[in-house]
Amino acid sequence: MAACFAEVDNHLGLTSFHTLVLLSMLHIQTYTHYADPTKGPCFCEASIGMDQILSFGCDDPQKLFWTTQIPSDISATVEPGTNPEVVRLKWTGDIPNFPEDHVTELSVQALRNLVNVACPTPSPELPSKVLWDDASFREDVRDLDYEAYMSDDSVLHQALQYLHTHGLVFLTNVPEQESSVSTIAERIGPVKNTFYGYTWDVRSVPQAKNVAYTSQDLGFHMDLLYMEQPPHLQFLHCIRASSAGGASTFTDSHAAAQDLFQQYPDEFEALEKLGVNYHYDHLESQYYHHTRPVFELPRPLFLGGQKCYNLRDLREAAETAGMDVRKDLNITEWLANVSWSPPFQAPFSLLSAHTEPPGFPQLMRQHRLAVLNQHIARWLPAAKKFDELIHRPEGVYERMMKPGECVLFDNRRVLHARRAFEVGDLGKERWLRGAYLDRDPFESRLRVLWERFGDASPAARGA
How high is the pLDDT of residue 244? Answer: 62
Q: Which domain holds residue 20?
A: 2-117
Ranked by mean pLDDT, which of 8-12, 16-20, 212-216, 240-244 comes out on top? 240-244
Q: Quick one: pLDDT band at residue 91, thresholds 50, 70, 90?
A: confident
Q: Are residues 313 and 345 in the same domain?
A: no
Q: Are residues 159 and 85 in the same domain?
A: no
How high is the pLDDT of residue 287? Answer: 93
Half-sphere exposure of 417 (CA within 13 A, CB side): 23
How high is the pLDDT of residue 49? Answer: 58
Closest-CA residue to 150 (of 161, 142, 159): 159
State the average pLDDT for the chain.
82
Q: Are residues 227 and 161 in the same domain?
A: yes
- Is-contact 241 433, C-beta < 8 A? no
Ranked by mean pLDDT, which of 112-116, 279-283, 352-356, 406-410 comes out on top? 406-410
Which of 72, 91, 117 is a domain's end point? 117
Query: What percent of the chain shows pLDDT beyond 70?
Result: 75
Q: Which CATH number fits the domain that encloses residue 377?
A: 3.60.130.10
> Which pLDDT tens digit goes with each residue over 270-305?
999 999 999 999 888 899 999 999 999 999 999 988
How high is the pLDDT of residue 349? Answer: 84
The mean pLDDT value for 342-367 works out to: 66
Q: Tell whether 124 is covered by a domain.
A: no
> Which pLDDT tens digit goes with each residue over 198-211?
999 987 644 444 55
Backbone angles phi, psi at 36, to 5 degrees: -65, 115
Say whether pLDDT at 407 is over 60.
yes
Q: Tell whether 123 is covered by a domain.
A: no
User: Concatenated DSSP letters for 327-375?
Assistant: HH--GGGT--EE---GGGBPPP-SS-TTTPPTT--HHHHHHHHHHHHHH
Q: Which of 45-49, 69-73, 99-103 has the lowest mean pLDDT?
A: 45-49
Please give the Cα distance from 12 to 4 (Å, whole number). Answer: 12
Ranked by mean pLDDT, which of 24-28, 59-63, 314-318, 412-416 comes out on top? 412-416
Query: What percent of the chain shows pLDDT beyond 90?
Result: 53
- For 104, 233, 394, 448, the CA distances from 13, given in Å and listed in that order, are 21, 53, 61, 37
Q: Tell whether 291 is covered by a domain.
A: yes
Q: Tell whether 122 is covered by a domain.
A: no
Of residues 244 and 136, more confidently modeled: 136
Q: Quick one: pLDDT band at residue 140, thresholds 50, 70, 90?
A: very high
Q: Are residues 320 and 417 in the same domain?
A: no
Q: Are residues 393 and 422 in the same domain?
A: yes
Please give the Cα distance from 284 to 223 (Å, whole number). Answer: 21
Q: Which of 207-221, 240-254, 391-405, 406-420 has the lowest mean pLDDT?
A: 207-221
Say whether pLDDT at 356 is over 70.
no
Q: Are residues 103 and 174 in the same domain?
A: no
The DSSP output letter for 354 is: T
Q: Are residues 309 and 379 in the same domain?
A: no
Say whether pLDDT at 181 is over 50.
yes
CB neighbours of 220 closer than 8 A, spacing ≥ 6?
A: 249, 251, 340, 390, 391, 415, 416, 417
Q: Are residues 186 and 238 in the same domain?
A: yes
Q: Which of 13-27, 205-219, 285-299 has the lowest mean pLDDT?
A: 13-27
> Which pLDDT tens digit goes with each residue over 312-344?
999 999 999 899 988 889 999 999 999 999 999
Looking at the DSSP bridge assignments, the partners of residue 278 are 290, 345
Q: Are residues 143 and 223 in the same domain?
A: yes
Say whether pLDDT at 426 is over 60.
no
Which of 281, 312, 328 is a domain's end point? 328
- The one-letter amino acid code at 233 reads L
How high is the pLDDT of residue 44? Answer: 34
Q: Are residues 374 and 423 in the same domain?
A: yes
